[in-house]
């Protein structure tokens, strides 16, 4: 049985494909993503308050390396088919992560009462930007007047990172008691917010149908094969870090997910020759729906197998 939030996604998808007039205000979409990012951050921060932070540093290095390796592998696969700018740009999308996929994963675990480690939201925050930098270097080379200062600013002060890490800091400082007054909004309404957010995602995904029809089979095959391959590396990484099955599943979902917000905007500026429609069609039209419909249950199954092999 599909989670109820996924049914909202399917409703949006169907409405979009049927060219319904349904349209959500941009401000609502922005507000919902703000609530989701803060909720994920708060929850993580609350959990982190109960443990020491120093042992996390090597884990962060490991997940950043995971994102970079995935970007480079995706690049060499895509380069066989696409021009350099397109291959580099799309590789960055696939190396980076999707908050929406992560949120659906969190919801999947919550629904089933499965725990996961509180540091997973930090993984989400640190895995977003390094693949963008790798993608830009792949497309333009190391010494080509890249505005590193601006990229660095994006890395630490982009909207997603500020809300996630800011939420974690608030959760960490406030602790469970301090968070009690805001819980009704951020925790109790999480599912409802996610449901409406996914309704809009369905509408956005439906708009990719045209490009997919034109670009055909390669994008569809890549859009499914790449996350499956990434999930194996993600699962292995989760086991190396000693994560629980729930944590391994979320890391697997992060590895398998592809960015459709931070990366397209940055790549559009840094690698203008790349065609943004190609990447978005693959990421939104294929990989995102695949991940939330079939990927997440499969990644948990995989995580359980992986977790079983830990000594």
Residues that bind other proteins (CB under 8 A): 23-26, 29, 204, 207, 210, 260-261, 264-265, 268-269, 272-273, 276-277, 280
What b/e readout covers 86-124, taking b as 16+ CB neighbours within 10 angstroms? bbbbbbbbbbbbbbbbbbbbbbbbbeeeeebbbbbbbbb
- Smaller CB separation from other proteins, 81 or 268: 268
Residue 303 CA to residue 248 CA, distance in Å, equals 6
Residue 125 CA to residue 165 CA, distance in Å, equals 7
Minimum distance from CB of 267 to other proteins (Å)? Answer: 10
Query: Burial level of 46, CB count in 10 A (0-12/13-18/19+)?
Result: buried
Minimum distance from CB of 22 to other proteins (Å)? Answer: 11
Residue 194 CA to residue 216 CA, distance in Å, equals 31
Minimum distance from CB of 139 to other proteins (Å)? Answer: 13
- Smaller CB separation from other proteins, 60 or 209: 209
Minimum distance from CB of 261 to other proteins (Å)? Answer: 7
- Smaller CB separation from other proteins, 263 or 302: 263
- Smaller CB separation from other proteins, 18 or 309: 18
- Smaller CB separation from other proteins, 150 or 305: 150
Sign of CA dihedral 304, 305, 307, 311: positive
Going by C-beta distance under 8 Å and a sequence separation of 6 or more, which residues neighbour residue 273? 83, 85, 139
Minimum distance from CB of 272 to other proteins (Å)? Answer: 4
Distance of CA 238 to the CA centre of its chain: 16
Residue 236 CA to residue 251 CA, distance in Å, equals 10
Minimum distance from CB of 223 to other proteins (Å)? Answer: 17
Minimum distance from CB of 74 to other proteins (Å)? Answer: 20
Do 208 and 280 contact (CB within 8 A), yes or no? yes
Residue 292 CA to residue 86 CA, distance in Å, equals 25
- Smaller CB separation from other proteins, 216 or 272: 272
- Smaller CB separation from other proteins, 15 or 56: 15
159 C-beta neighbours (distance < 10 Å), count = 14
């Amino acid at each position: 049985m599909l989670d109820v939030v996924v049914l909202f996604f399917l409703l949006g998808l169907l409405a979009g494909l049927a060219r319904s007039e349904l349209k959500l205000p941009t401000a609502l979409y922005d507000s919902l993503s703000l609530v989701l990012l803060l909720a994920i951050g708060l929850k993580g921060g609350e959990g982190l308050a109960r443990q020491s932070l120093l042992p996390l540093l090597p884990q962060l290095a490991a997940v950043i390396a995971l994102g970079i390796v995935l970007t480079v592998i995706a690049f060499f696969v895509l380069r066989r088919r696409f021009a350099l700018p397109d291959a580099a740009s799309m590789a960055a999308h696939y190396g980076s992560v999707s908050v929406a996929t992560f949120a659906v994963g969190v919801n999947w675990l919550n629904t089933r009462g499965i725990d996961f480690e509180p540091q997973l939201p930090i993984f989400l925050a640190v895995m977003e930007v390094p693949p963008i930098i790798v993608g830009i270097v792949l497309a333009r080379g190391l010494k080509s007047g890249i505005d590193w200062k601006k990229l660095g600013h994006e890395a630490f002060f982009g909207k997603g990172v500020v809300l996630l890490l800011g939420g974690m800091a608030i959760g960490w400082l406030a602790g469970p008691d301090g968070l009690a007054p805001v819980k009704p909004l951020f925790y109790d309404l999480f599912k409802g917010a996610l449901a409406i957010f996914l309704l809009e995602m369905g509408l956005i995904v439906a708009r990719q149908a045209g490009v997919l029809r034109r670009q055909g089979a390669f994008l569809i095959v890549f859009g499914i094969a790449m996350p499956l391959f990434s999930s194996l590396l993600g699962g292995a990484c989760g086991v190396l870090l000693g994560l629980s099955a729930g944590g391994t599943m979320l890391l697997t979902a992060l590895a398998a997910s592809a960015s459709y917000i931070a990366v397209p905007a940055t790549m559009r500026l840094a690698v203008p020759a790349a065609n943004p429609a190609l990447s978005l069609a693959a990421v939104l039209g294929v990989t995102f729906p695949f991940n939330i419909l079939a990927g997440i249950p499969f990644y948990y199954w995989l995580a359980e197998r992986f977790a079983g092999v830990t000594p």
